[in-house]
């Protein structure tokens, strides 16, 4: 089964799948104990972050409805500053 993320109304972000990994900011894996479904806290109230513990109930409102993001802006090439003459070079004519 492909990994599926579901944004739940007034709740967590649910992750379903047989092949996913959750890592911390340093790249260390969370031990998921073979789970194929986890819920990630979105409200910030969980005592077990990043996992949801149900603390959001009655304290977090978000009606999850899908929408389309605008297309990303094309990457702009970096601006290269004009070359400056070498201080030891001959003067420009």
Cα–Cα distance between 80 and 11 in angstroms, integer?
Answer: 47
Mean pLDDT of 69-76: 92
Residue 38, phi then psi, degrees to nearest 5: -135, 160
pLDDT tens digits, residue range 42-61?
Answer: 999 999 999 999 999 999 89
Beta-carbon count within 10 A of 12 CB: 22
**Residues listed for the chain:** 93
Its pTM stands at: 0.72
d(CA 7, CA 16): 12
């Amino acid at each position: 089964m492909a990994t599926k993320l579901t944004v739940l109304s007034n709740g967590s972000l649910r992750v379903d799948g047989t092949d996913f990994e959750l890592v911390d900011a340093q790249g260390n894996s969370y031990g998921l104990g073979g789970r194929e479904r986890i819920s990630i806290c979105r409200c910030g109230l969980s005592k077990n972050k990043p996992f949801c513990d149900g603390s959001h109930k009655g304290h977090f409102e978000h009606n999850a409805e899908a929408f389309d993001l605008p297309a990303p802006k094309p990457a702009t090439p970096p601006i290269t500053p004009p070359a400056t003459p070498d201080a030891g070079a001959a003067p420009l004519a």
